Structure 1
Amino acid sequence: MVCEGSVPCLALAYVADNVPEGRRASAFGILSGIASSAFVCGNLSTRFLSTASTFQVSASVAIASLVYMRVFLQDSIIDEQLTAPILTSTGKPKGKGKAYATNEIQSKNGKTFKSAPSMEDMLCLLKSSVTLSQAAVVAFFYSLREVGLHASLMYYLKARFHFNKDQFADMMVISGIAGTISQLVLMPILAPALGEARLLAVGLFFTCVHVFLYSIAWTFWVPYVAAMFSVLYVFSQPCMRSIVSKQVGSCEQAQGCISGISSFANVISPLIFSPLTALFLSERAPFHFPGFSIMCVGFASMIAFIQSLMIRITPPIASEKVCDSSYVDA
């Protein structure tokens, strides 16, 4: 759980460092498609493995990925003098003392650099680009929707249509297969033709549609149809990440900042939607609408969609300085 958020973030930053801007959205889509295919394979494998074997296989695959990374992947940083996050051009931190770092690391040249930028520095980064700020808002409400749906959907479907674990697994496999095909086949074609901003809006629009369809499901097969909308709504995350990667310098990816905002949404989302789901599935509901919490999740998606319509792609930042001579790392 400690590294769950950092691994996708670093993978996206690595791809952004090694793929030209014109092909970056397609590359992010392919990366997400491979992750979706792994998700499908993982769900299918659990049908043939015991509970104990599942954890053993997962640990073995994690070790294999670590070995592969160390053997085949080369560090994308060319300059051996690592740039410290949020440092001034003189190499001194903008803030004072504890506000900037919790520990110091001695570099090869004997220089020390800080590793924990403050909240003020993150706000400075977001203010450096209007597009980046808009993408941060989209990321927040998209993650609020994603975790809120996961926190509520299973309870809702079990109470509404008496779904069991096999039906939940079938839905996840359908969604994963549709998303994999879309990201590996459709996205490399649509991203250059439509552009990241338009494709992001398309993905978020169908995100709203599929969530609202869950909320008004009138029979057991409707959730399966809604799951197939992953063919279109999976465009959102790769396009958003591609837009973010183009708003900072090549060595200053802001993926970590966006991932932090998404993680904050992941924390508060269950606190909002889980009690709301429990309330409207109980006899104490103010009115009869079992899918009301799911519809509220859809409203969060709608906010992200409306914000995405306002995004206007600006030229990438040519300089490495983004705010008051500050440098921003992943």
Structure 2
Amino acid sequence: MVIPAITDVTMAALCPGRDECSVTIYLTGFQQAIIGLGTLVMMPLVGNLSDKYGRKALLGLPMGLAIIPLATLAYSRTRSFFYAYYVLRTLTAMVCEGSVHCLALAYVADRVPEGRRASAFGILSGIGSSAFVCGTLSTRFLSTASTFQVAASVAIVALVYMRVFLQDSIVDGNISTPILSNGKSKVDVIGNSSKNVQIFKTMPSLEDMLCLLKSSVTLSQAAVVAFFINFSEVGLHASLMYYLKARFHFNKNQFADLMVISGIAGTISQLLLMPMLAPALGEGRLLSIGLFFTCTHMRTIVSKQVGTSEQGKAQGCISGIGSFANVVSPLVFSPLTDDSHDSEYHDEGGSSHFK
């Protein structure tokens, strides 16, 4: 809901009165890189903890933390509050970014039989796209201040609804992890306390993640696909909005218009087309077709490579690998975006506002 407005808020706080500012590009890229490093560690950990303690218990953490930066800008959007938002957003997103989506997929995998997961994942993504359309469309008719206030309120309502109505899907309090148990654990000697040992056992190491990926060729291939999808999507999203702001003077409303169009297309494809096509074509073919647009069926393929007790671990591992793209992508796209601004500015045939 706040995505269309955040570009205007950033520009107003850092470069008031201007539509072009290299500082915002590099600052956004730096934030994405830090968030990517954090989620690279946190996603597998969150997924692993959800296998042990349940999806509902872990969902409360990212949903609660996500409220804090929204409430900051809902109160004020001056430069001081923007910097506070920037720091809070960076820290909380290291845990929140992708966590809800990852845990939601694991929750659905717990509840839905293997043969129906492709359709279920498509419906889940379609509902998410519908919510994105509704939120973005409402931004079109709200002021910037009201946008953040409504977003913070909706986030609070979502957290309360989840805590009150969502039933946990944990299967057993003593969940076994056969894939990770094949690897050699070095954490047993870290502490003498059984509590400390239990905590360290819960934290997946790099060796654990490699062991998980090596357990299935399909899982390894899905990890590679996830990395390159995130690399392109994150870089494009971060650079495109600032480019449109500088090149065509886009504002909150025009960003919202573009996002509504893409959101409607995503809703139709994921909510209507994918559940119908998945049984006939299979997840593999749909993924091949969907890579031209973006597709959720990679997560279905991943969920089928592991058992019920490892859904959170597998989804968290793929999310973590995708998060690594958040680290690499700004290093490539931020300089390219800044160079495109400079070339447009010095281009004799460019639009008049760059002359």
Give the TM-score normalised by structure 1: 0.68
**Partner residue in 2 for 1:22:** 115
> If each structure's helix is expressed as a fraction of its own residues, which one has the higher value?
2
TM-fit CA distance, 1:88: 2.9
Q: Call closer, same or farther: CA 1:87–1:244 in 2, change over 3 Å.
A: closer
1:46-71: CA deviation from partner (whole Å, max 9, x where unpaired): 23333333233222222222222222
TM-fit CA distance, 1:159: 4.6
Query: 2:177 touches 2:310 (CA, 8 Å); kept in 1?
Result: no
Letter in 2 for 1:29: G
**Partner residue in 1 for 2:46:** none
Query: 1:86 touches 1:94 (CA, 8 Å); kept in 2?
Result: no
Q: 2:317 aligns with which of 229, 238, 257?
A: 257
1:1-58: CA deviation from partner (whole Å, max 9, x where unpaired): 2323211111100001111111111111111111111111111222333333323322
TM-fit CA distance, 1:125: 0.6
For residues 225-264 of structure 1, the aligned pairs below 5 Å read 233-234=293-294, 236=295, 238-253=296-311, 254-264=314-324
**Partner residue in 2 for 1:150:** 237
**Partner residue in 1 for 2:96:** 3
Q: Call closer, same or farther: CA 1:149–1:74 in 2, change over 3 Å.
A: same
SS at 2:149 equivalent: helix
**Partner residue in 1 for 2:333:** 273
**Partner residue in 2 for 1:62:** 155
Q: 2:263 aligns with which of 156, 176, 199?
A: 176
SS at 1:8 equivalent: helix
SS at 1:58 equivalent: helix
**C-alpha separation in 2, matches of 1:53 and 1:163:** 20
**C-alpha separation in 1, matches of 2:210 and 2:321:** 11
TM-fit CA distance, 1:161: 4.4
**Partner residue in 1 for 2:28:** none
SS at 1:46 equivalent: helix
SS at 2:306 equivalent: coil
User: Identity percentage over the alignment?
Assistant: 74
1:154-210: CA deviation from partner (whole Å, max 9, x where unpaired): 2333455454433222111100011112211111111111111111111113xxxxx
Query: 2:180 touches 2:208 (CA, 8 Å); kept in 1?
Result: no
Letter in 2 for 1:52: A
Considering Cα pairs closer than 8 Å and 6+ residues apart, tell me whether 1 or 2 has the greater RCO: 2
Q: Call closer, same or farther: CA 1:64–1:128 in 2, change over 3 Å.
A: same
Letter in 2 for 1:120: E
Q: Call closer, same or farther: CA 1:86–1:45 in 2, change over 3 Å.
A: same
The answer to whether 1:38 aligns with 2:131 is: yes
Query: 1:105 touches 1:114 (CA, 8 Å); kept in 2?
Result: no
Letter in 1 for 2:273: L
Letter in 2 for 1:33: G
Give the TM-score normalised by structure 2: 0.64
For residues 1-330 of structure 1, the aligned pairs below 5 Å read 1=93, 2-83=95-176, 88=181, 94-97=184-187, 105=195, 114-205=201-292, 233-234=293-294, 236=295, 238-253=296-311, 254-283=314-343
- Cα RMSD of the aligned pairs, angstroms, is 3.2
Query: 1:100 touches 1:114 (CA, 8 Å); kept in 2?
Result: no
Aligned length: 254
**C-alpha separation in 2, matches of 1:155 and 1:260:** 26
Letter in 2 for 1:48: F
Letter in 2 for 1:154: M
TM-fit CA distance, 1:264: 1.1
1:76-109: CA deviation from partner (whole Å, max 9, x where unpaired): 12212134696538xxx833239989x97589xx
Letter in 2 for 1:282: D
**C-alpha separation in 1, matches of 2:124 and 2:189:** 35
